[in-house]
Amino acid sequence: MNIFSVLLTQILYRPIFNVLIVFLSLFGGNLGIAIILLTLLIRGIMFKSTAAGANMQQGMSSLQPKIEELQKKYADNPQKLSEETMKLFKSEGKAPLKWCLTMLVQIPIFICLYYVVRKFAGGEGVPPEWLYSFFRSFGQQYTELSNIDTNFLGIDLLEKGNRVLTILVVIFNYGQMKLTSLVQPKPAAKLPGATMPDMSKMMGTMSIGMSLMMGALVYSLNSAIGMYLVTTSLFSIAQYSRQYRALIKVKLNEFFHKGKPTIIQPK
């Protein structure tokens, strides 16, 4: 085993696996409940950083006019445009990398869960040495597949091709993307005589395409991964619904009272 594999196991796989073992031991080895609780724990830990990233994304809408001014001013000087754009972000307290890092953190967690589930699905079980010594008294038995209940709500979490989870992931992922699109910067106004694509339609098409891709991924993997993605998407929907509730109220008023002025009463 090379040094990279050792570091990956010690820093990533073992901590996630041991948290999963704790939840398995608390709920009689039920893998579905353990995955849901593990997902909620991870999203809870990341709640503040995710909220900050969402606020940054919302703030980008207000910066859009200033960014467009810079684009016009430095149209012939890409390097200067990049420098001035970063200065604008810093002066306004926006940090685009925070949002990216928050999303990237979830990738190794996803890989780790997939690796552990694949071990169980292959009948191998997880190496006992992965278990921390202070968890062995109650968690040792759950390193073997025979002691784990892999059925949850009628779904075998080690099987592939579950249609219910696939459909749920597509729906919830699309709903999550629609919520985040509420704070996306509006496209610049079209210039007279210029032919420009309809960005709103393009974003809508991309949302559908990405959601279908996620569904295809879930269908091809073990249902445990689908359970994880369904839970994290539902958490995101709940978080964004609360965070963007004022915007959602405006959109709903616009939809149900077309042609009438919308008045939002101050709290």
* pLDDT tens track, the chain, 267 positions: 578 777 777 777 788 888 888 999 999 889 999 999 999 998 888 777 666 655 555 555 556 666 667 777 777 777 777 777 777 666 655 555 555 555 666 777 778 888 888 877 776 667 778 788 888 888 888 888 888 899 999 999 989 999 999 999 999 999 888 887 765 555 444 444 444 445 556 667 888 888 899 999 999 999 999 999 999 999 988 888 887 777 777 667 766 666 555 555 544
Domain range for 137 is 3-256
**Residue 156 is assigned to a structural domain of this protein:** yes
* Total domain count, the chain: 1
pTM score: 0.72
The residues that bridge with 152 in the sheet, in sequence order, are 155
Domain membership of residue 266 (yes or no) is no
